[in-house]
Amino acid sequence: MEAYMAGKTQKLPSFEAALAELEQVVAEMETGQLPLEGALAAYKRGAELLQQCRGRLEDAQQQVRILEEGTLKNFAASFADNSSGAGNAAKRDDA
């Protein structure tokens, strides 16, 4: 139980660390060996970790959307333009 309380005050450094701790919390809860207070503390910590993970995933998804709307689409468009231009040049050489 103290481990869950101590973890509450610490910021986890990464999504992977939060996910690993969440998996550990779930595994401990699934054993059914925690006393009521420990189970409640574990549930609360698990909910906090889940919220952190979701927030980080949403941030990552937003960054991907921004990239797709800007840089990646422009890159794809310029790649398509270059490809079609090369194909037109080849056709002109054949004629």
Closest of 13, 67, 2 to residue 35, by C-alpha: 2
> What's the confidence (pLDDT) of residue 36?
95
CATH code: domain of residue 68 = 1.10.287.1040
Statement: residue 93 has pLDDT above 70: no
> What's the confidence (pLDDT) of residue 69?
80
Neighbours of 4 (CB within 10 A): 22
- Its domain, for residue 63, covers 2-94
Per-residue DSSP letters for the chain? -HHHHHHHHSPPSSHHHHHHHHHHHHHHHHHT-S-HHHHHHHHHHHHHHHHHHHHHHHHHHHHHHHHIIIIIHHHHHHHHHHHHHHHHHHHHHH-
| Percentage of the chain modeled with pLDDT above 70 | 60
- Looking at the structure of the chain, the number of domains it has is 1
Statement: residue 75 has pLDDT above 80: no
Task: Give the pLDDT mean for 69-89.
Answer: 61
